[in-house]
Amino acid sequence: MVITGKTALFGLIGHPIEHVGSPALINAYMAERGRDGVLIPIHVTPSDLEKVVDGLRCLRNLRGFLVTIPHKQTIVPLLDRLTEAAELSGAVNVVRRDVDGNLVGDQLDGEGFATALRKSGISLTGARIYMAGAGGVAAGIGFALARQGARAITIFNRTHSRADELTQRLRGAFPQCDVRTGDSNPRGHDIVVNATSLGLTVNDPYPMNVNGLNAAMTVADVIINPRETAFLRAAAVRGCRIQYGFRMVEEQLPLMMQAMDPVS
């Protein structure tokens, strides 16, 4: 990679920044495709976010930037436009800078998740989805799966009001999909998703009643680290097909590049 004055600029804002993996992945992705671009890590603390976003808006050779913890929600009011997925999830993980300086936020967790399922040969059309969680990641996944033709989505969340709220939003956006809240048992569904943060820590309880899992199901997690959660192990033991959390991230790389750099 040789950086010249013509090289297109991409960023990744986060705090902390040292651990991020996407700069290496995305730079390799661009290099493979002959795209003259570079993605750099940008370390921004929460108190500086507004000033930095105002500055990034003015960089004429910046095509866009990825957004990671802790800025995914707090950046929303600083942007000029949101895609439907970002609007619905209330969070952004990629921002495109239009040539007029407008910043457009998108949220690709759901698209990445759905793409990973499709690439494993799992049909989403007509699928019955069970999802634990009702936060930003869950909203993005619910939105993407409904858009891909899921027949039903059941949402289980420990805080019932949040499950109710996401249910209402999904129903409003996809009247043809049977969206409802459910209990902790995932029985009677085709695809079962953990979209909570349970599993990040070793002693976390399961996100749902794993006795409701069976070998006909595909079971997916959004937890990236550890790679294999206790929940996914419990699903594998029961004969389920499983999808690791990193697959949601992996499939987002090309989508993120498209979102920031539609010409590439």
Nearer residue to a copy of itself within complex by CB, 44 or 208: 44
In the block, tokens 């993005």 appear at 140
Confirm whether 72 is a catalytic residue.
Answer: yes
- Tell me which residue of 260, 261, 257, 262 sits closest to 28, measured CA to CA: 257
Provide the residue type at 251 as one letter: E
Is residue 219 within 8 A of residue 232, CB to CB? The reply is yes
Per CB under 8 A, residues contacting a copy of itself are 1-7, 9, 14-21, 23-24, 27, 38-45, 48, 51-61
Q: Between 59 and 200, name the residue whose CB sits nearer to a copy of itself.
A: 59
Specify burial of residue 69 (Cβ count, 10 A radius: 0-12, 13-18, 19+).
exposed
Q: How many CB atoms lie within 10 A of CB 262?
A: 10
Q: How far is the CB of 13 from a copy of itself (least distance, A)?
A: 9
Give the three-state DSSP class for 106.
strand
CB of 96 to a copy of itself, least distance (A): 17
37-43 and 8-14 as β-strands: parallel, antiparallel, unpaired? Answer: parallel
CB nearer a copy of itself, residue 9 or residue 82: 9
Q: In this structure, what token pair is assigned to residue 144?
A: 């993407």
DSSP 204: P
Using the minimum distance from each CB to a copy of itself, give the nearer residue, 22 or 115. 22
- H or E element in which residue 121 lies: none
Beta carbons of 217 and 234 less than 8 angstroms apart = no
Taking the complex as a whole, the smallest distance from the CB of residue 16 to a copy of itself amounts, in Å, to: 8
Q: Which residue has the tokens 């009643």?
A: 209
Q: Closest approach of Cβ 47 to a copy of itself, in Å? A: 9
Is the Cβ of residue 16 or residue 262 nearer to a copy of itself in the bound state?
A: 16
Minimum CB–partner distance for residue 103 and a copy of itself (Å): 13
Catalytic residues: 72
